[in-house]
Amino acid sequence: MWKLGKRKNANCFLDIGLMIQNATNISNINIFIPKPVAISDIEDLGITFRESSDLVSTLFNEDYRVSSHANEKIVEVLNVDRMPVFYIYILDLENDVLIENAYGGSTIRISIPKDLASEKHYYRIRLKNPYVDSISRIYTPPNSVLESAFSQTELIDFRLNEKRNLNSSLLERMRLEGEVSFNKTHLFLMREASDDYVYSHKLPSGSRQLEVDLWKSYIGDDYSFDKIIAYHWKETNTHNNFSAFVKFRYIRCNPLTIATFIIIIIILGFLSGLAANILFSHLPFK
């Protein structure tokens, strides 16, 4: 989950990566988003790995190479011995992806190619949608006007397959069509270095600053990208759901907050001077 740029016009988007071990008995993958989604909200990211071994190695934390042919939709990922490890599939959004609206949201249906059904393979898409914005919210302390004027607290509540939050008809369909079991889940929150990590449901398993040259080409030229910290949470035991709650705080600095600060200083100076004059006028002098 990325949050980049100025606060008022922050760019927030979610990159979803799925590694499939074996899909011989599966015709498609369904990703339910609890808000309506249009095909224009989705971007395929598989193509970004076609020419970048460094990006693949960084993302999967292994020394990998990539091999592919022009106009092919399959990228082969190789280890240092040039042996295939898995495949990355480049999605054609018009033909490989179908949007189905139901249950108060949308299901992104990805068709599994027959050539990769028995192979370990990977999909990666980017979602830019109001749902991503709803994962986080700004918390304003009810009795702290001064604090909220100069800093803001952001609460991020990420939930994956939390059944208590899902529509009952959707749960019924999941049971009929087959529920998912995860071997590993990784969540990365990409934040500007000026954002202060305050609290999370459990401590991050790690954090690091991203390499600008490498990741700038991945996210594109439309986003502000300078000093970005990646915070990492993970679950490595077999599980059916995953959740993370994180709190960040950042300083608000714009003409309005500066003007507010100056006005407060002037008011405090005026009140302190007035109080001093009143006190001075009541003191006995001989």
The pLDDT tens digits for 27-48 are 999 999 999 999 999 999 999 9
Assess whether 249 and 264 both reside in one domain. Answer: no
Assess whether 235 and 286 both reside in one domain. Answer: no
Pairwise pLDDT comparison (258 vs 186), residue with the higher score: 186
Assess whether 202 and 277 both reside in one domain. Answer: no
Assess whether 232 and 283 both reside in one domain. Answer: no
Assess whether 126 and 237 both reside in one domain. Answer: yes
Domain count, the chain: 2
Pairing of strands 65-67, 42-44: unpaired
Q: Are 6 and 194 in contact (CB under 8 A)?
A: no
Compute the mean pLDDT over every residue in the chain, rounded to the nearest whole number.
Answer: 87
Assess whether 95 and 229 both reside in one domain. Answer: yes
Question: Of the ranges 135-149, 166-180, 271-285, which is most confident?
Answer: 166-180
Range(s) of the domain holding residue 143: 2-253
With a CB cutoff of 8 Å and minimum separation 6, the contacts of 30 are 107, 108, 109, 110, 177
Assess whether 154 and 138 both reside in one domain. Answer: yes
Q: Where are the alpha helices (DSSP H) in 201-254?
A: 212-219
Pairing of strands 84-89, 121-127: parallel
Assess whether 150 and 276 both reside in one domain. Answer: no
Handedness of CA 166, 231, 194, 221 (dihedral sign): negative
Assess whether 68 and 169 both reside in one domain. Answer: yes
Pairwise pLDDT comparison (279 vs 183), residue with the higher score: 183
Assess whether 276 and 216 both reside in one domain. Answer: no
pLDDT at 225 over 80: no
- pTM (two decimals): 0.84
237-265: average pLDDT? 78
pLDDT at 205 over 80: yes
φ, ψ for residue 43 (rounded to 5)? -135, 135
Assess whether 239 and 266 both reside in one domain. Answer: no
pLDDT score for 184: 95
Q: Where are the alpha helices (DSSP H) in the chain?
A: 53-60, 130-134, 145-150, 168-177, 212-219, 255-281
pLDDT score for 278: 74
pLDDT at 103 over 80: yes
Assess whether 171 and 274 both reside in one domain. Answer: no
